[in-house]
Amino acid sequence: MSEKLTIAQLSPGDSAKIVGFSGPTELQSRLVEMGFLPGVLIRLINQSAFGGPFQLKIRDYYVSLRKIDTENIIVEKLI
């Protein structure tokens, strides 16, 4: 078993499996509609300068999320 992290704690290039959400729930509807569901794999690409948004790959596409929102998505890092 690997430890539970948030997407914000991953490094560029890391792959992970979504476990669940934490924190405020407003954004969860949109994230889930975009396919962020427990069990789905993601890969972190990069982060924009000065603590800007993260770019990641999920399913067949690339998407960017603000850092504050990536802190509310809990993942399990894939080795």
Partner 1 sequence: MMNSNLQSHSKIFKIALLGNPNSGKTAIFNLLTKLRHKVSNYPGVTVEQKMGIVKLNNGRLAELLDLPGTYSLTPESLDEKIVAEEVTKWVHGIHRPDAIISVVDASNLSRNLYLTTQLTDLGIPVVMALNMMDLVKSGTVDHHQLSEKLGIHAAIPMSAKEKWGVNHLLDGLWKVLESPPPDCSFMIPLNIPAIVSTTLEPLTSIFKENFQYSPRLAVAQALRVITRNSALELYRKIIQTLPGLDDNLFEKLIDTRGEIIGQIESLNYSHRILEATLRYAMIDDMVKSIQPDNEKILKQVTRSEKADRILTHKWLGPAIFISIMYIIFHSVFTLATIPMDWIDESIHKIGDIILRTMGPGMLRDLLVDGVFGGVGAILVFLPQILILVFFLSMLEDSGYMARVAFLLDRFMTKVGLHGRSALPLISGYACAIPGIMASRTIDSWKERLITILILPLMSCSARLPVYSLLIGAFIPAKLLFGFISLQGFTLVTMYILGTVVAFILAWIFSKFIPIQGKSSFVMEMPPYRIPIMGSVFHQVFTRAKLFLKNAGQIILAISIVLWFIASFPSSPNSVNGNHVEDSYAGKIGKIIEPVIKPLGFDWKIGIGLVTSFAAREVMVSTLATLYSVDNGENSIVHLSSSLVKDINIHTGKQRYDVLFALSLMVFYVFAAQCMATFAIVKVETNSWKWPIFMICYMSMLAYGASFLVYQGGRLLGF
- 64, 54 contact by CB (below 8 A): yes
By CB atoms closer than 10 A (0-12, 13-18, 19+), residue 40 is middle
Q: Please, what is the minimum distance in Å from the beta carbon of residue 3 to partner 1?
A: 20
For partner 1, give the closer residue by CB, 3 or 60: 60
Cα first-last separation, the chain: 10
Give the whole-angstrom CA distance, residue 17 versus residue 24. Answer: 21
- Residue 1 found at the interface with partner 1 (CB under 8 A): no
- Residue 74 found at the interface with partner 1 (CB under 8 A): no
Site string for partner 1, 2-31 (x = CB under 8 A): -------------x-----x---xxxxxxx
Bridge-based pairing of strands 41-47 and 4-6 is unpaired
Q: Please, what is the minimum distance in Å from the beta carbon of residue 77 to partner 1?
A: 13
- State which of residues 18, 69, 74, 75 lies at the interface with partner 1 (CB under 8 A): 69
